[in-house]
Every structure is written in structure tokens, then in C-alpha cells.
Amino acid sequence: MQSTPNLDQFIPEPLSKIAYQGLQESKKIFSFVHKSVSDRLTHTVVPEQGNKTQPLTPEILQKLQEKLKELEEKDWQDAQQGVYPHRLLFDNSWSDFFRYYPEVWLDLFNIWQRIKNKEFQSFDKTIDQVGYPNYYLQNFHYQTNGYLSDMSANLYDLQVEILFNGAADAMRRRILNPLKQGLSAFFDMPPQQIRVLDIACGTGRTLRMIRGALPKASLFGTDLSPAYLRKANQLLSEISGELPQLIQANAEQLPYLDNYFHGLSSVFMFHELPGAARQNVINEAFRVLQPGGVLVICDSMQAIDSPDFQTMMNNFPAIFHEPYYKHYITDNLEERLTTAGFTKIKTENHFVSKYWTAYKPIE
């Protein structure tokens, strides 16, 4: 079953671009209104939360707007050039939106309690905490039960979309071009035999995008959260193409053979890991990748990329519980990739995210 109609076939190109721009504009307005109201309420209920952040200047806000426009134009151009189908630009789970949006508001009461009581590692008694690394047992973003409940998995995509003003998927899609380019080294293989793993796949958004760009490849996903994997399984079952194989695993110890994958991706995970775990994940990525294979990482921009956005980077861990972010923004991932053995490392930035493309050398 395909949840989003194939717009490429039905809508003439100029209309499709206007529709894409219109959709992005409405997401921006919606996110802005949501954040303004929820911030105001939060600052009323927990006034000390407001004192932790610095306001962004009009110049920074203007620059952010420009970066967002550039991202959207790149997104559109990649679709135009066939890196992925146009329908991906309109891939939204509207049923989840209507079903779970009220819960985003209701959960605010629990979030306020946790902020007030400074509880960042609080889990319901029903949540099984055995077997997870300590660094993972956190209420990242003050989420109720962290990553370990179905409710958290149901709200996650919506919350990320609001956080990034409707640009979360556009940022995820920036991995598709370097991933496809890297995989072109295996052009002589049948596409079904190309294996791609998304590390920390969460609810499967990135795998959905990869399926659109690589309709025949064998896709795999791992994550530590059983609840997020259940959600990913549900959402990925809605789209055409073979269902990706999902396995619960710590990315520091991937349950795959050496040299198994041709391509690897990982989106928005590294900032939620302590430095040592970041290195372990990169080492594991190197181990499971074939010589000649490509790894593409997407995560937050870093301090070195944009001094202008430093205030925003300081505000982020102050507003949301993000215990490893401060270290992440000054961490040298190029050095970590080189230490693991990766070569041909390239970085790029889009909007508020950063991308690393790296290759496992052919011996």
C-alpha cells in the first residue's frame, strides 16, 4: 500500500513546485505558531526556563530564513534531477498528525513537571530499562519515557517536524545524493543485491526516503528502541517495495558480518551520544561496510561551521534536555572517521544540519 500518491505522474511541474513551496510555507507558519504558544506557556509555568536562553537577533533570524530557502531549493532540484521522486517531497503522515497532535499538547504537563523537578532520567515503572547503556536512559527533549514508549514513538516525527519548522525531512533527504553517488561504485551489481543500513533508524523516516531513492535495494535498519522500531515497521509497511529488515541493536555493536553493507546512513543520532560512543559507532560502521562502500552521516551543525548560529547552538541544550550536545558541537568527527580508517571524507552544511560522507578504502 502506498500512503502518498505518485504526484510525479499527475501534476504538471510548475504546479508541483508551487504545491511544494506552499506546503513548506504552511509547515513553517504552523511550527512558528505552535512554538510561540508552547514557549509562552512553558515560560509562564516554569519561568526559570526562559532565563536560560539568549534571544536571536533579527539578523540571525533572517539568515536562518535564507538557509531554509536554500535547503528547500536544493531539495526541489534533487527531485527534478531524479535523485528521488517528487512524491517524497509530499510524504507526510496526515493520519498521525490528526491523531497525535493533541497528545503533543497534553504531554506538555508532564514535561513541565520534569523541568521543575529537574528529572532527566525518569521512566515509568512499566518501562524495562535493562540492557540499555546508561547514556541512553535519558528524557532527551524532556520526552516522557525517553525513547522507550509507544507514545514517545507516536509523537516523535511530529515533534521533530515542528522543531525544524517543517524542514526535518528536507534535511534527511540531503543524505540521498551522496549515498547514491557512493553506491554508484557498485553499478555492475543487480540493484537488489545492494545492501544499505540506516543506523539508529528511529521511526523509519530516513528509510522511507532511501526506499524512494533506491526502490530495489535491500534496506536494513537498527535502533535501540523497540517502540521506535515497532513504529518504523508500521510506517514502512505502508509504502511500496520490500519491507526493510529492522533489528534492535546498539549501534556500538552492530549485529552484522564484517564487510556486509554497500552503504550506511545515520541521521540525528551522533549529538545524542557521548564522545566515546560516537567513536565506537564509527568503528562499527567501518567494520560492517564493504571496501569501497560509503557512509553518510547527518546531524546538527557544529560550532566551527557557523559562528553566527552559536547562540542558537547554546540555546538548544538549554531548552531541551540534550546532555551530549555541547560536547558534540566541538567534536571532530573527521578525525574520528580517519581514526576508524575512513578516507575521502567530505563535509557539507544545509540549514541547521551537517553531513559527513566517508568511504572505506579498497585494500
Ligand X SMILES: C[S@@+](CC[C@H](N)C(=O)[O-])C[C@H]1O[C@@H](n2cnc3c(N)ncnc32)[C@H](O)[C@@H]1O
Pick the stretch among 84-92, 103-111, 222-230, 337-345 that binds ligand X (CB under 6 A).
222-230
Decide: is 223 part of the binding site for ligand X (CB under 6 A). Answer: yes
Region binding ligand X by CB under 6 A among candidate stretches 7-15, 59-67, 104-112, 196-204: 196-204
Q: Which residues of 273-311 are buried (b: 16+ CB within 10 A; e: fewer)?
A: bbeebbbbbbebbbbbbbebbbbbbbbbbbeebbeebee
Q: Which is nearer to ligand X, 17 or 287 (CB)?
A: 287
Q: How far is the CB of 153 from ligand X (least distance, A)?
A: 8
Mapped onto helix, strand or coil, the DSSP state of residue 206 is helix
* Residue 202 interacting with ligand X (CB under 6 A): yes
Stretch that binds ligand X, among 6-14, 177-185, 246-254, 354-362 (CB under 6 A): 246-254
Taking the complex as a whole, how short is the minimal distance between the CB of residue 45 and ligand X, in angstroms?
A: 25
Sign of CA dihedral 45, 314, 278, 157: positive
Q: Restricting to residues 147-166, which ones interact with ligand X according to CB under 6 A? A: 147, 160
CB of 199 to ligand X, least distance (A): 7
Query: Cα(245)–Cα(233) distance, rounded to whole angstroms?
Result: 9
Distance between CA atoms of residues 167 and 162, nearest Å:
8
The H or E element containing residue 343 is strand 343-350
| DSSP secondary structure string for all residues of 165-181 | TT-HHHHHHTTHHHHHH
Which residue's entry shows cell 515497521? 233
| Selected range binding ligand X among 69-77, 98-106, 119-127, 265-273, rule: CB under 6 A | 265-273
- Does 300 contact ligand X by CB under 6 A? no
Near ligand X by CB under 6 A: residue from 250, 279, 300, 357: 250
Size of the site for ligand X (CB under 6 A): 21
Asked whether 340 and 286 are in contact (CB, 8 A), the reply is: yes
Q: Which residue is nearest to ligand X (CB)?
A: 202
**In the complex, what is the shortest distance from the CB of residue 160 to ligand X, in angstroms, rounded to a whole number?**
6
Does 142 engage in binding with ligand X (CB under 6 A)? no
Nearest-angstrom CA–CA distance, 98 and 95: 5
Q: Is 321 in the site for ligand X (CB under 6 A)?
A: no
- Report if residue 294 touches ligand X, rule: CB under 6 A: no
Among 103, 252, 305, 348, binds ligand X (CB under 6 A): 252
DSSP 8-state assignment for residue 183: H
Task: Establish if 206 lies at the interface with ligand X (CB under 6 A).
Answer: yes
Enumerate residues 6+ apart whose C-beta is below 8 A from 109.
Answer: none
Q: For the CB of residue 227, give the shortest distance to ligand X in the complex, in Å.
A: 9
- 3-class DSSP state for residue 241? coil
Q: Which one of the spans 46-54, 119-127, 266-274, 333-341 is the region binding ligand X (CB under 6 A)?
A: 266-274
Region class of 92: left (phi > 0), else alpha (psi between -120 and 50), else beta: beta
Q: By CB under 6 A, is residue 212 in contact with ligand X?
A: no
Which residues have CB under 8 Å from 174's CB, separation 6+?
A: 71, 74, 75, 298, 348, 350, 353, 355
Binder to ligand X among 175, 224, 288, 358 (CB under 6 A)? Answer: 224
Stretch that binds ligand X, among 108-116, 256-264, 268-276, 320-328 (CB under 6 A): 268-276
One-letter identity of residue 318:
A
Which residues of the chain form contacts with ligand X (CB under 6 A)? 136, 147, 160, 172, 200-202, 205-206, 223-225, 228, 250-252, 267-269, 272-273
